[in-house]
A and B are shown apart, each in its own frame.
Chain A
Amino acid sequence: MDNILEMKNINKSFFGVRALKSVSLEIRRGEVHCLIGENGAGKSTLMKILSGAYQRDSGEIVFNGKPLDTSSTLQVQQEGISIIYQEFNLASVLSVAENIFMGREPLNKFGMIDKEKMYADTQEILDKLGVEVSPKALVNKLSVAEQQFVEIAKALSFGAKLIVMDEPSATLTPKELERLFAVIYDLKMKGVSIIYISHHLDELIEIGDRVTVLRDGENVATDDVDKIDKDQIIRWMVGRDLTNSYPPRTVTPGEKVLEVKKLSSEGVLKDINFSLYKGEILGVAGLVGAGRTELVRALYGADPKDTGEIYLNKQLINVDSPKDSIDHGIGLLPEDRKQQGVVLGQSIKNNITLAKIDKITKKILIDNGQERREVQQYIESLGVKTPSQEMLARNLSGGNQQKVVLAKWMFTNSNILIFDEPTRGIDVGAKYEIYELMNKLTEQGKSIIMISSELPEIIGMSDRVLVMHKGRISSVYDRTELSQEKIMKSAAGEVG
């Protein structure tokens, strides 16, 4: 069989810790090759070595029959390998077209950038992808999903022979995902190879031809997708069986702790009313753009609101800034991990304690010993994979960064926790642990509002579910009456 790419015995260490141990990977022409593994298993690292973003310690890379020069990322791109990183690489104040053609803009006869041509070419690529985005739109005005498609468009414009997608689905709605799959299928037919990284096993089964599983920096298996099933993949990944996806909910919600009345915000939210009970997990479902994130941000004081009253334990409270919320014991884990969740240049420890330093402060000074002990507990209970809590958050894998953000909000000890997509980018095994932690928090009498785009997660963990549609709450379901179909219908605005 004809291999487009062969990576042989790749080794890579960071600070003396081996992230990749003699990993070999072969990609065939025109196949969709899935890469899966726990957070920190080395998936992104392997791809960054391929792209030239990291330099390998040892090993060999052959692309298209020739050794690949990975000394610069541009070189690799020109050879025909495009990588769409887990963390986007777009310049946010530039337009879509400028991003796609950055550094190789078409020129007119005066040597100036030929904008007309650039926009036209961009439009053509976007049309092929079926994305409704203007080539002139600024990237920072786009949704995460739209940005994702711009990244793909950019890869296509390079005429790539191999495209790597590092967790492309993490931020996509089911519809967008369908479109992505259609595009992938189309590419495959044209002989383009795809490396597809995801934590969603269903996706791998649907789109993949072969799958490679990484565990602790080693290639533990490569096999045809047809020959294996989900359980087998999980066994390879975590080294044991996972019997349940969701731990059972045992808490019975108590009295009302939070009530939101008539919350509105021009053009985003319309007359939102709901309550939250002690010990409850309240799921918030809806399509991208339904206003879920906007709702919790307004509630939290991160964005201004036009009208609305918030009652905490029946008392009217004033929330104009995140600081007010924290002071009232309300915490928000934001959706956008990199921009709003972690401080990449600070240590894991400093990230975890950032929102509640008072907790580890004696008089006015931080108690380093106590801080280290408490942080260590979170690192262990969430399974953050790192050699030290002094490690910069930047150096963690995506999923482990997400765990740090979760730990940060758990550390605040808030009575009401709002989680916006808490398990995004987290591997199957670790997800279960996080669900258990959520259960434990509610057992302690805390209440959780959880936004999630994964319906099984909403159904598996919520006591009640709010479904939003176009800035309104379209329906509220109790745990007993929940079904995937009902939620989808009211999210689409067909009920309620």
Chain B
Amino acid sequence: MDLELTQKISSSDKKNSFFEKINNSYYKPEIYAVIGLILLSIALSIASPYFFTSRNMINLARQVSLNAIIATGMTFVILTGGIDLSVGSIVAFTGTLIAGFIVNSGMSPVLASILGLALGTSFGVFNGLVISNTKIPPIIVTLGTMSMARGAALLYTGGSPIAGLSAGFKFIGRGYLGAIPVPVWIMVLILAVASVVLNKTKFGRHVCALGDNEETVRLSGISVKAIKMKIYMITGFMSAIAGLILAARLGSGQPLAGEGWELDAIAATVVGGTDIMGGRGTIIGTLIGAFIIGIINNGLNLLNVSPYLQLVVKGAVIVGAVFVRSGVVKRK
């Protein structure tokens, strides 16, 4: 019976099977993102002679790296059916803290970074604690944290940026290893680990299942609280890493940095095929999503499109991508 069925898959019924195939789990959900990325790349290669140059590709990868790192954390959160709005503020908080520790308190960059990352992550821990122990929805909790972390960054800096970081520290944001910028290496490393965690570990499985049906997961003997705690902590940590890199890239801690980045991260995640309702998604999809968002920015710049129109196009593409995906999901 089974054999017979399997053979038939390849032969009969071509009509609407393409959409159905994509929508079934053994056809990867990020396929739309891949198609989108390819089409965008082709279009931009034709439209601008600068787009498909190695210089611009490197440039693009560096620009995308921070969003990709944050969006990786966001992917875990969205997979569980949650959301984290505090990421951008944690970026600013961590960046200013690290800059302040180095410049004002005279700490060694290594110590300052470790401390800054730990404190940045603590906002994620706070999110996790509140969300897993109360019934307050994640969107509210992280909205609060968004404000708290931003406020903390502004308080700590008194509102103005902290500059004067050493060349060694700036290397993290501006340097190259081989031909590839350091932030890109960091992104690759983080995404590789995250991808393995999501696909090949117990934790990853639990995360996906949780987004689909929390009660079943609980009755399966899995601690739902612990998972929620961990994912918000992960997102906090990813944001803190991004904050560290950004401070190094800008050579200063900016209390106003990272505003609106939660939207870019959510957009990258969702454009990359992660179901906004939770349960299904991949890290590679999110990476592709981050590149799509990045290419839209980069490409429109290269095409010298009016900055205002850029915002419109970006918004339209995000909504369009989500629409295509949800349209397909509905078919089932």
Do A and B interact? yes
By a beta-carbon cutoff of 8 Å, the part of chain A in contact with chain B is 13-18, 57, 300, 302, 321-323, 325-327, 331-332, 334, 339-347, 350, 353-355, 357-358, 361, 364-366, 368, 380, 385-388, 390-392, 394-395, 408
- Contact call B217/A16, Cβ cutoff below 8 A: no
Point out the residue from A322, A361, A386, A394 that lies within 8 Å of B218, measured CB to CB.
A322
B221 x A18 contact (CB < 8 A): no
18 contacts between A and B (CB under 8 A): A15-B21, A16-B9, A16-B10, A17-B8, A17-B9, A321-B218, A326-B221, A339-B216, A342-B213, A345-B211, A355-B220, A357-B205, A361-B201, A361-B202, A364-B201, A365-B201, A366-B202, A366-B205
From A18, A57, A302, A353, B15 is in contact (CB under 8 Å) with A57
In the complex, chain A residues whose CB is within 8 Å of the CB of B20: 14-15
A residues less than 8 Å from B332 (CB atoms): 394-395
Distance A283 CA – B88 CA, assembled complex (angstroms): 56
Cα distance, A16 to B9, chains bound together (Å): 4
Question: Is residue B107 contacting chain A, with contact meaning CB distance below 8 A?
Answer: no
Residues of B within 8 A of A355 (CB): 220-222
Chain B residues with CB under 8 A of A331: 221
In whole angstroms, how far apart are the Cα atoms of A292 and B248 in the complex? 62
Can you name 18 extra interface pairs (CB under 8 A) apart from A365-B196, A366-B201?
A: A15-B9, A16-B8, A16-B13, A18-B8, A321-B218, A322-B221, A339-B213, A340-B219, A346-B208, A350-B205, A354-B222, A358-B202, A368-B200, A390-B25, A390-B26, A391-B24, A392-B25, A395-B332
Residues of B within 8 A of A361 (CB): 201-202
Q: Evaluate whether A345 and B219 lie within 8 angstroms (CB atoms) in the complex, with A350-B205, A357-B205, A394-B332 already known.
A: no
Bound Cα distance A385, B2 (Å): 8
Q: How far is the CA of A368 from the CA of B212 in the complex (A)?
A: 22
Residue contact A339 to B5, C-beta cutoff 8 Å: no
Counting CB contacts under 8 A, is B108 at the interface? no
Return chain A residues, CB-CB under 8 Å to B196: 365
The A-contacting residues of B in range 32-52, CB under 8 angstroms, are none
Known: A15-B20, A15-B21. A344 touches B223 (CB 8 A): no
Contacts of B205 in A (CB 8 A): 350, 353-354, 357, 366
Which A residues lie within 8 Å of B10 (CB)?
16
| 8 closest A-B pairs by CB | A326-B221, A390-B26, A355-B220, A345-B212, A345-B279, A357-B202, A16-B9, A387-B5
Provide the bound-state CA to CA distance between A368 and B211, in Å. 22
When chains A and B are docked, how far (Å) is the Cα of A368 from the Cα of B26? 14
Q: How far is the CA of A347 from the CA of B208 in the complex (A)?
A: 11
Would you list which residues of chain B between 241 and 283 have a CB under 8 Å from chain A?
A: 275, 279-280
Contact A339 B215, CB 8 Å, known A15-B17, A346-B208, A366-B202: yes
Interface SS of chain B: helix, strand, loop or mixed?
Answer: helix
Partner of A345, one of B15, B17, B201, B280: B280
Also in contact, A323 and B13, with CB within 8 A (given A339-B216, A354-B217): no
Q: How far is the CA of A387 from the CA of B24 in the complex (A)?
A: 12
Return chain A residues, CB-CB under 8 Å to B221.
321-323, 325-327, 331, 355
Do the beta carbons of B17 and A346 come within 8 Å of each other?
no
Tell me whether A387 and B279 are in contact (CB under 8 A). Answer: no
Cβ of B134 within 8 Å of any chain A Cβ, yes or no, is no
Are the CB atoms of A387 and B2 closer together than 8 Å?
yes
- B5 contact from A17, A325, A364, A380, Cβ within 8 A: A17
**CB neighbours of A322 from chain B (8 A):** 218-222
Residues of chain B contacted by A18 (CB below 8 angstroms): 8, 12-13
Interface contact A347-B223, CB-CB below 8 Å: no
Which B residues lie within 8 Å of A358 (CB)?
202
A371 CA to B209 CA, complexed, in Å: 17
When the two chains form their complex, are residues B217 and A343 in contact, meaning their CB atoms are under 8 A apart? yes
For the complex, what is the distance from the CA of A67 to the CA of B38, rounded to whole Å?
Answer: 45
Contact with A along B182-204 (1 / 0, CB 8 A): 00000000000000100011100
Separation in Å of the B308 CB from the closest CB of chain A?
A: 39
Chain B residues with CB under 8 Å of A395's CB are: 24, 332
**A-facing residues in B1-30 (Cβ within 8 Å):** 1-2, 5-6, 8-13, 15, 17, 20-21, 24-26
A303 to B21, CA, bound (A): 40
Question: Known: A343-B212, A343-B213, A345-B280. Is A302-B219 also a contact (CB below 8 A)?
Answer: yes
Partner of B216, one of A340, A347, A380: A340
Contact B24 A334 (CB under 8 A): no
Closest chain A residue, CB of each to CB of B213: A343
What is the distance, in angstroms, from B19's C-beta to the closest C-beta of chain A?
11
Contact B24 A392 (CB under 8 A): yes
Inter-chain contacts of A345 with B (CB < 8 A): 211-213, 275, 279-280
What are the residues of chain B within 8 A of A343 when measuring CB–CB?
Answer: 209, 212-213, 216-217, 279
Across the interface, do B209 and A16 meet the contact criterion of CB distance under 8 Å? Answer: no
Is there contact, CB below 8 Å, between A323 and B11? no
Q: Which listed residue, B9, B21, B212, touches A346 by the CB 8 Å rule?
A: B212
Q: Are B220 and A354 in contact (CB under 8 A)?
A: yes
**Looking across the interface, which residue of chain B has its beta carbon closest to that of A387?**
B5
CA distance A408 to B217 in the complex (A): 12
- Give every chain A residue within 8 A of B211 (Cβ-Cβ): 345
What distance in Å separates the Cβ of A375 from its nearest Cβ neighbour in chain B? Answer: 13
A18 to B212, CA, bound (A): 28
- Closest residue of chain A to B280 (Cβ to Cβ) is A345
Interface centre among A339, A354, A385, A391 (most CB of B within 10 A): A354
A361 to B219 Cα, complex, angstroms: 21
A340 and B215 contacting across the interface, CB-CB below 8 Å: yes
Known contacts A57-B13, A57-B15, A364-B201, A323 near B222 by CB under 8 Å: yes
Q: How far is the CA of A16 from the CA of B20 in the complex (A)?
A: 10
Interface bits B63-92 vs A (CB < 8 Å: 1, else 0): 000000000000000000000000000000
